Chain A
Amino acid sequence: MKQRIRIFDTNTYSSYKHKIKPSDVEISALSIVVFYELTATKISSKKRRLWDGYFRHHQTNHTLIIPAQEDWRICSQIVWQLHRNGENIPKTATAFQNDALICQLAISWHLENPAERPPCAVITENLKHFSLIADYLNKRLKRNEPKLIVVSAKDYFSV
């Protein structure tokens, strides 16, 4: 059984920090959106250096996930579509827009290079929003492309 690459949502890092294991880090990728949410805030210089170091490691390992032009467009279209379809989502919340980008990046990272990059699974506390976004994004995929999987952080770390 081949393992999916784990993408931990921002809240998962802070809420489940005591449950994250080295093996989780080994099979994870860092979404630039998550990094931004974690670090573009009031943190000490020491923490800043630590986060930058963590960023560099993922950069070197080619597990830092950054958006391409098309990712922004697809994401904007999906969030627009969710609003248009009357889904129960925050009207202007940046966090929700970021969640959509995290999902899109998890999909496009694999599709850019399927031979070398496994499909992803997003681990999050916010199952409701992420599942909704993933449903919309997965509908865009071709039949032979792997669907994005969203897993509850509570379930993931309780095993």
Chain B
Amino acid sequence: MKTTELKTKKTEKTNGKKTIPDYSEYETADQVRSLKNGTVSAEAQKMYKLLMKALADETEN
């Protein structure tokens, strides 16, 4: 009885693993540092400008 239960659990685990995404295709810490993204969307450009203005030094009146 115990053997059967164990076998069932093992099968479920194996089946579950098939649906798990392969995260090895994502950047590692070294790759995060080195990878550059070439193309930028219009939305990102807009957000970038907004961010730079928000971060800019200013003298308050």
Instruction: Point out residues on A near B: beta carbons under 8 Å.
Output: 1-4, 6, 13-14, 17, 20-23, 25-27, 44, 46-47, 50-51, 53-54, 57-58, 61, 114-115, 118-119, 121, 123, 144-146, 149-151, 155-156, 159
Contacts and interface: CB of A to CB of B under 8 A. Distances in A.
Would you list the 7 A-B pairs with minimal beta carbon distance, nearest first? A26-B44, A50-B54, A23-B37, A22-B48, A146-B23, A17-B55, A22-B40
Contacts of A51: 54
Main secondary structure of the interface of B (DSSP, over half): helix
Contact of A47 (B35, B46, B58): B58
Interface string B22-51: 010111110111111110110111111011
A53 B50 contact: yes
B58 A21 contact: no
Contact of A13 (B28, B34, B55): B55
Interface residues of B, number: 34
B12 interface: no
Nearest to A42: B60
Contacts of A22: 40, 44-45, 48
A119 B25 CA distance: 11
Contacts of A114: 21
Given A25-B44, A25-B47, A61-B43, A159 B33 contact: yes
Nearest to B36: A23
A47 B54 contact: yes
Contacts of B2: none
Contacts of B35: 1, 3
A62 B59 CA distance: 33
A145 B16 CA distance: 13
B52 A1 contact: no
A144 B20 contact: yes
B37 A26 contact: yes
Contacts of A26: 37, 40-41, 44
